[in-house]
C-alpha cells in the first residue's frame, strides 16, 4: 500500500514575498516601517487611497510630556530626541514648533491641579503651578470667575503631523520598503510559517504580520485567528473657529481643562476647539455629531470669553484604547507571527518615534532600546499578553 501523502505547506507562488507585512499606513504603521525597513523587506498595506486618512490626519497635533499615564509620558519623552534632531533629510523644517500647554482648573479642581503639577514635574522640570491671575496674563480671554489656577507646561509643542508622517514613509521607501494604497486586507491565512494576505490589490506573503490597523486592529487580529486585545475606539470631535478680532491669539498655549472636558489652541490663524469627547463607537469613517459640536462651544465659552460666531470646519476622529490606556506592542501569545502595534489612543503621534523603534526592535527579536528602558519603558507594560492576563 502506498503511504498517505504528507501535507506539505508549499510557498504560495502567486503571492509576492516580504519579511514583514504591516497593515495600516497611519502614524503607527509608517513609523514601524521606517525603523524596520533598513533591516528587513517591508510592505505596508493601506486600505485607503491616501495614508493618514483616518486618526492620523485628524489629530490636534500636540506634543505634551505631561499628558497620559506614566508609560505614555515616558514614551513621549523618549521620542523627543528624534523629534528635535531627526536624521538628515527626514524633513525640510522642524517637526516641532513652540506652543506650550496650560492645564486649567476651577476652585473645586485645585487638588487635581496640585496633583497634576507634582506628577508631571517629576519627568518634565519646566512644568509649574501658577495661579489664576498668572494664567489670565497668558490667555486673557479666560474668565476670572471660572479660573482658579493652572499648570503650565511651557515646553509643549505643536507637531507638524503631515511632515512627520511623510518623513517616515519617505524614509521607509528610501530604505527599500514599499507602500500599497487601495489595498484592503480581506483575508489572512498562515501556512508553512508564512502569512498570506489577500487584498484588493493582490496577494502578498511574509512570515511576520504587523497589525497597525488603528481602530480596526481587533477586527484584523480576529481575521488572523487571534482573540483580540479588547480595543475600544472612541470618537473625539474638533472644530475650527475664528479668534476674537484684534486678539493676539497666535501665541496662546493650548488651554485644556485639567479633567480634560474641553480644550482649545491656536491653529493656522484660527482656534481649534474640542469637547474632549470619548464616545465608544464601532470602527468607521467617523463624522462629528451636532451635539458634540454644541458641547464644544458651550464648554469653551463657560471657561473663556470667546464668541464663536462661525465654525469654519468640524471633524471627528477615533482614539482607540485598551483597558489600561497604555499602548500595545508585541507578538500575540497564541498566533505565531502576529505582532500587535495598537491602542495608540490620544497619544499616537507624540509617541510614534519611540513606538516605531520599539516595534522594530521587538520584531527583530531584540530588547527595548536602552534609552527607553532607562525611562522605565518595559516589554511587559506594552505586551498584548498583559491584556489577556488582565481578562483571565
Binding region for ligand FAD (CB under 6 A): 23-29, 45-48, 53-56, 58-62, 184-185, 212-216, 220, 236, 238, 317-319, 344-350
Nearest to 271 by CA among 311, 237, 309, 242: 242
The least CB distance from residue 218 to ligand FAD, in Å, is 10
Instruction: Answer yes or no: are the C-beta atoms of 8 and 186 closer than 8 Å.
Output: no
Alpha-carbon 311 to chain mean position: 26
Nearer to ligand FAD, 48 or 289 (CB): 48
The least CB distance from residue 78 to ligand FAD, in Å, is 13
The least CB distance from residue 250 to ligand FAD, in Å, is 18
The least CB distance from residue 320 to ligand FAD, in Å, is 7
Nearer to ligand FAD, 24 or 243 (CB): 24
Q: Could you identify the residue written with the cell 531584540? A: 366
Instruction: Answer yes or no: are the C-beta atoms of 360 and 39 closer than 8 Å.
Output: yes
Number of Cβ within 10 Å of residue 158's Cβ equals: 20
Nearer to ligand FAD, 75 or 304 (CB): 75
The least CB distance from residue 333 to ligand FAD, in Å, is 21
Task: Measure the CA dihedral 165/167/172/174, to 10°.
Answer: 150
Number of Cβ within 10 Å of residue 250's Cβ equals: 11
Nearer to ligand FAD, 349 or 381 (CB): 349
Which residues sit opposite 211 in a β-bridge? 23, 340
The least CB distance from residue 272 to ligand FAD, in Å, is 9
The least CB distance from residue 379 to ligand FAD, in Å, is 20
Nearer to ligand FAD, 28 or 142 (CB): 28
Nearer to ligand FAD, 24 or 171 (CB): 24
The least CB distance from residue 358 to ligand FAD, in Å, is 14
Number of Cβ within 10 Å of residue 376's Cβ equals: 15
Sequence-ordered list of residues with C-beta below 8 angstroms from that of 391, at least 6 positions apart, any chain:
230
Nearer to ligand FAD, 34 or 216 (CB): 216
The least CB distance from residue 232 to ligand FAD, in Å, is 13
Nearer to ligand FAD, 132 or 356 (CB): 356
The least CB distance from residue 84 to ligand FAD, in Å, is 16
The alpha helices in 249-392, defined as continuous H runs, are 290-303, 352-363, 370-374, 379-382, 385-391
Q: Is 285 exposed, middle or buried (0-12, 13-18, 19+ CB in 10 A)?
A: exposed
Nearer to ligand FAD, 26 or 149 (CB): 26
Nearest to 211 by CA among 353, 371, 25: 25
Q: How many residues does the chain have?
A: 392
Q: Is 240 exposed, middle or buried (0-12, 13-18, 19+ CB in 10 A)?
A: middle
- What gap in Å lies between CA 309 and CA 316, rounded to an integer? 20
Nearer to ligand FAD, 172 or 238 (CB): 238
Number of Cβ within 10 Å of residue 2's Cβ equals: 4
Burial 338-372, CB ≥16 within 10 A → b, else e: bbbbbbbbbbbbbbbbbbbbbbbbbbeeeebbeeb
Amino acid at each position: 500500500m502506498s503511504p498517505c501523502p504528507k501535507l506539505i505547506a508549499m510557498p504560495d507562488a502567486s503571492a509576492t514575498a516580504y519579511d514583514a507585512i504591516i497593515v495600516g499606513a497611519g502614524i503607527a504603521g509608517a513609523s514601524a516601517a521606517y525603523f524596520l525597513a533598513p533591516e528587513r523587506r517591508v510592505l505596508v498595506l493601506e486600505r485607503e487611497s491616501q495614508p493618514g486618512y483616518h486618526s492620523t490626519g485628524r489629530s490636534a497635533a500636540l506634543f505634551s510630556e505631561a499628558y497620559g499615564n506614566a508609560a505614555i509620558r515616558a514614551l513621549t519623552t523618549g521620542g523627543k530626541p528624534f523629534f528635535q534632531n531627526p536624521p538628515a533629510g527626514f524633513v525640510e523644517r522642524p517637526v516641532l514648533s513652540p506652543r506650550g500647554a496650560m492645564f486649567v482648573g476651577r476652585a473645586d479642581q485645585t487638588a487635581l491641579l496640585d496633583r497634576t503639577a507634582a506628577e508631571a514635574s517629576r519627568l518634565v522640570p519646566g512644568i509649574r503651578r501658577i495661579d489664576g491671575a498668572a494664567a489670565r496674563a497668558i490667555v486673557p480671554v479666560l474668565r476670572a470667575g471660572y479660573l482658579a489656577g493652572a499648570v503650565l507646561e511651557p515646553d509643549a509643542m505643536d507637531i507638524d503631523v503631515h511632515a512627520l508622517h511623510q518623513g517616515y514613509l519617505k524614509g521607509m521607501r528610501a530604505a527599500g520598503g514599499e507602500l500599497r494604497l487601495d489595498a484592503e486586507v480581506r483575508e489572512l491565512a498562515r501556512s508553512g510559517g508564512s502569512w498570506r494576505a489577500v487584498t484588493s490589490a493582490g496577494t502578498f506573503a511574509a512570515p511576520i504580520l504587523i497589525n497597525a490597523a488603528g481602530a480596526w486592529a481587533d477586527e484584523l487580529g480576529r481575521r488572523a485567528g487571534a482573540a483580540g486585545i479588547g480595543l475600544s475606539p472612541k470618537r473625539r470631535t474638533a472644530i475650527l473657529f475664528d479668534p476674537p478680532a484684534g486678539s493676539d491669539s497666535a501665541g496662546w498655549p493650548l488651554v485644556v481643562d485639567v479633567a480634560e472636558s474641553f480644550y482649545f489652541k491656536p491653529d493656522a490663524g484660527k482656534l481649534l476647539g474640542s469637547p474632549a469627547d470619548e464616545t465608544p463607537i464601532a470602527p468607521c469613517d467617523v463624522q462629528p455629531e451636532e451635539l458634540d459640536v454644541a458641547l464644544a462651544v458651550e464648554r469653551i465659552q463657560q471657561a473663556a470669553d470667546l464668541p464663536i460666531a462661525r465654525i469654519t470646519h468640524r471633524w471627528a476622529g477615533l482614539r482607540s484604547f485598551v483597558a489600561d490606556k497604555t499602548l500595545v506592542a508585541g507578538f500575540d501569545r497564541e498566533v505565531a507571527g502576529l505582532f500587535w502595534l495598537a491602542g495608540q489612543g490620544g497619544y499616537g503621534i507624540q509617541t510614534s518615534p519611540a513606538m516605531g523603534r520599539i516595534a522594530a526592535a521587538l520584531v527583530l527579536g531584540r530588547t527595548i532600546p536602552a534609552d527607553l528602558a532607562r525611562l522605565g519603558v518595559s516589554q511587559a507594560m506594552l505586551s498584548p499578553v498583559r491584556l489577556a492576563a488582565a481578562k483571565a
